[in-house]
């Protein structure tokens, strides 16, 4: 007897400080490994996830979309609560919902946003060190913003691709780039 398989989309939030990035790797603690392990416990079957975009070691996310398939019959809140009860402190499922079978977390993603936070002061950070980049010399955020506007539009980023990059092409469109200051950040 074939079990009916449902595709789900989920949103994951994580503090990447203690992990070696998103992608599952042998003998390394990764976000994907932890999420799949937690969802597999809820489903009582192996779960494989596909992510909208992999992140590197130490990178955090507030809205990372994934998809997975399962034959387990669970309510949305059961996936979230059950998953979160099996995840470490630094990772949480924000929501899980059934989705159309043609949905693909990576290929259907139409936009990504990034935030880089620079702590700009003479003294290095202590408890913020995992969440900010520190630069001790004065920065001019107005000039940085002006310079950043040259990156707007469509550009070929071939020179910035990693050796094993799997993206189908190096052309990307930057729609918005802002630099602002809030006190020392």
Which residues does the annotation mark as catalytic?
56
User: Exposure string (b/e) for 106-137, b if CB count within 10 Å is 16 or more?
Assistant: eeeeeeeeeeeebbbeeeeeeeeeeeeebeee
Helix, coil or strand: residue 76: helix
DSSP codes joined into one string, 34-66: HHHHHHHHHHTS---EEESS---TT--EEEEEE
Q: How far apart are CA 74 and CA 44, in angstroms?
A: 11
Q: How far apart are CA 177 and CA 113, in angstroms?
A: 10
Contact by Cβ (8 Å): 96, 83? yes
> What element of type H or E holds 171?
strand 171-174
State the alpha helices, DSSP H only, in the chain: 31-43, 76-85, 141-148
């Amino acid at each position: 007897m074939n079990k009916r398989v449902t595709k789900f989309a989920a949103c994951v939030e994580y503090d990447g400080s203690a992990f070696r990035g998103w992608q599952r790797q042998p003998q390394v603690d990764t976000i994907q490994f932890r999420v799949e392990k937690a969802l597999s416990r809820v489903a009582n079957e192996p779960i494989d996830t596909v992510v909208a975009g992999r992140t590197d070691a130490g990178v955090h996310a507030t809205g990372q979309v994934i998809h997975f398939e399962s034959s387990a019959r669970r309510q949305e809140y059961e996936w979230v609560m059950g998953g979160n009860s099996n995840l470490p402190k630094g990772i949480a499922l924000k929501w899980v919902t059934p989705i159309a079978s043609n949905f693909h977390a990576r290929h259907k993603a139409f936009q990504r946003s990034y935030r880089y936070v620079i702590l700009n002061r003479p003294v290095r950070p202590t408890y913020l060190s995992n969440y900010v980049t520190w630069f001790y010399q004065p920065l001019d955020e107005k000039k940085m913003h002006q310079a950043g506007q040259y990156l707007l539009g469509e550009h070929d980023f071939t020179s910035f691709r990693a050796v094993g990059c799997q993206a189908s092409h190096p052309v990307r469109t930057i729609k918005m780039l802002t630099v602002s200051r809030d006190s020392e950040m």
